[in-house]
Amino acid sequence: MVPVPSQVDSTESIPSTVKRLREYFESGATQSSTWREEQLSALVTMLEVEEKAILDALAKDIRKCTFEGHLSEIFSVKNEAIEARDEVSAWMKPEKIPMSLIGGIAASTRVVHDPLGVGLIIGAWNYPIMLTLGPLVAAISAGNTALLKPSELVPTCAALISRLVPQYLDKNAFAVVEGGIPETTEILAQRFDHIFFTGSPPVAKIVMAAAAKNLTPVVLELGGKSPAIVCADANLGTAARRVAWGKFFNAGQTCIGVDYAIIEDSIYDEFLDRLASTVQDFYGPLPQQSPDFARIVNEANLDRIHQLTDGQEIVIGGQTDRDDLYLAPTILRDVSPDSPVMQDEIFGPVLPTMRFSDLDEVISFINAGEKPLAQYIFSGSRQKQDRIIAETSSGAVGINDTLSQILIPGAPFGGVGQSGMGAYHGYDGYLAYTHRRTVLTRSAAVDPPVRYPPYSDLKAKLTGWLL
């Protein structure tokens, strides 16, 4: 047997790698529940055994602290893999479809779940483990093979994924490509059966255009300006802590992170004071020295984010150290909706804040922009919570909390509109990589002539009953 390469070491070898993955899929080796369960168990083992190596890589690439790395990168994927492993046999069972009383006498209908084939997973740099291996859980649970492309902006993590995946998982079913734009361009020139992309809307359009050439289905996990709405009846102490955590976790480089806060006017000043105090509680008077505050991924992003604070009134923060890729947790006061910081997703540790006097203003403002990936509502009123949910649209909603919705393995995670399309996690991830195929079985012993020519008015009336 010809040895299978453990990684893709050149752009020229990408087409042959995809061909190899397709041949293995077509062999039927990935179809059984046993194979899927074994691969998911192997993934869990990898996360457990290689925990230190993963945390070290995250620390080296983006200075992610141990707590944040474990919670968002290891714990989240591990839980997804365990749930999928334990449930996949049940997910794979055919669905029985009810038929009419008469038409079902000699027939039955079921829906079987077919794997799509060879998937492409393009990961993101901000959560390089979760956003590469999380989609892989879904691909495995549905019985697919996959080519993984981790982000080149986190080279230590990309190299680690490239080394660990073939070490722990089926080398015939999975391959990893490192590299940047040339490698990604060559990858997108190949035909896949599914593409999973996490990143920005501009790049998503390139991915979707490539997918369109082969009518390949896609899941796009993007982002947007996810608001935190803080009403006067909220528990302000808890709200301040959770908004700050949802904003400054991973130095604000989180697709579902709080992008801006819109705060009821009567509590605006008090809430800003609580936010500023919370930042100091979290990171001390010198956040740059805190072991719990991450760094910006590169100088270009640091410069971009810092420029957004120009001309703004800064409540706290604003300091930078370009050599250290450091931008302090920053809160802005009374930001104009027309300012540059309110035009696009910030993706960094800068929190613009605005005021509102009634919910009509909030709802109109949110609906005037693109649909965000997440929306956070801080209020003690169920009526207010329900109204905001009913009259706005977002990928997900957190009530009196931030970020935590992504950690629930069985809850679908996905965007809407500009924040993405499709969903994954749990059964939704399984379905994303599955074709639900209808299978009708009808007895050959019973063959009523009602559906055959010559037709008549009576046959037309009876057809719906008998078929």
Q: Catalytic residue numbers?
A: 221, 255
Contact call for residues 39 and 142 (beta carbons, < 8 A): no
**Of 146, 151, 133, residue with least CA distance to 80:** 133
What is d(CA 151, CA 108) in angstroms, rounded to the nearest whole number?
47
The alpha carbon dihedral of 303, 304, 309, 311 has a sign of positive
Contact call for residues 259 and 372 (beta carbons, < 8 A): yes
Contact call for residues 94 and 112 (beta carbons, < 8 A): yes
Half-sphere exposure of 95 (CA within 13 A, CB side): 12
What is d(CA 197, CA 29) in angstroms, rounded to the nearest whole number?
26
Strands 260-264 and 227-230, how do they pair? parallel
End-to-end Cα spacing for the chain: 52
